Amino acid sequence: MSKSMKLTLHIWRQANRHAKGKFEVYTPSDLTDDMSILEMLDCLNDQLIADGKDPVTFEHDCREGICGTCGIMINGMAHGPDRGTTTCQLYLRRFKDGDTLVLEPWRAKAFPVIKDLLVDRAAFDRIQMAGGYISVNVGNAPEANSILIPKEVSSEAFEAAVCIGCGACVAACKNASAMLFVSAKVGHMSMMPQGRPERHDRVLNMVAQMDEEGFGSCTNTLECSAACPKEISPKWIQRLHGEYIQAATVTRR
């Protein structure tokens, strides 16, 4: 049975990327412990609209922990305090009645604020477009068993392929590095036979685009992996270094 809760919310409000933002304090009513963070924001916005005030802007889509667009900082942690959880799957029962929650957007130069808790993550899309695809025309979908791939290889590749590109790794990193995201996208494709013909161009182009977007350098603090809702291992960053060195060596020849 759900229980009512009282929470104090410090929420970052910013009209646009050029405006000066600030925290505003809210104490929404009618909260229950079975609400998710996003449902809490829905409830708050209903009350703000009823009072003739501007609702809090935040991003969401599936609300099923699949897409990651819901990502915000909660008490200084990307997606909140639970491991392997997106913001939309974090419930108020995780907190205590009377707690104070600080909600703010991802903080990164490459993720400019659009409004309030909503940021522009198009930089990730541009990195993907730089090489995160297979350009060979293969026609119709081939028979699943026509290309034999060892189970251990496909399973390991899937560990990286589950990256949802939410940006939590960037938000959690003190340098706003996108290395976990890029390494996951490069890594799983380089392991599959379909992705190997373009593996050298892929890693060089995607890393170059990452740098162009203004993401910081990786200093191996591993906060990225800790914040990742899919718990992607930092081993993929190590593999990215190897892929990059190999590609750069081949290209120079």
Please state the domain extents for the chain. Answer: 4-115, 121-136+148-252
Give the residue-averaged pLDDT of 162-186: 97
Residue 148 pLDDT exceeds 90:
no
Taking every pair of Cα atoms in the chain, the longest distance, rounded to a whole number of angstroms, is 68
pLDDT in tens, 3-29: 999 999 999 999 999 999 999 999 999
Ramachandran assignment for 31, one of left (phi > 0), alpha (psi -120 to 50 degrees), beta (any other): beta
Q: Quick one: which of 43, 46, 47, 69 has its CA closest to 58? A: 69
What is the model's pLDDT at position 223?
96
pLDDT in tens, 93-133: 999 999 999 999 999 999 999 999 999 999 999 999 999 99
Both tokens of 202, joined, read 């892929």
What is the model's pLDDT at position 250?
84
Is residue 195 within 8 Å of 189, Cβ to Cβ?
A: yes
What is the model's pLDDT at position 1?
80
What is the model's pLDDT at position 253?
54
Residue 145 pLDDT exceeds 80:
no
Residue 185 pLDDT exceeds 80:
yes
Residue 239 pLDDT exceeds 90:
yes
As a 3-state breakdown, the chain gives helix, strand, coil percent values, each rounded to 5, of 40, 15, 45
* CATH number for the domain whose boundaries are 4-115: 3.10.20.30
Q: Quick one: 121-136+148-252 is in which CATH superfamily? A: Alpha-helical ferredoxin (1.10.1060.10)
Residue 194 pLDDT exceeds 90:
no
pLDDT in tens, 34-75: 999 999 999 999 999 999 999 999 999 999 999 999 999 999
What is the model's pLDDT at position 252?
61
What is the model's pLDDT at position 251?
66
Q: How confident is the model at residue 141 (pLDDT cuts 50, 70, 90)?
A: confident
Q: What's the rounded Cα separation, in Å, for the pair 47 and 28?
A: 8
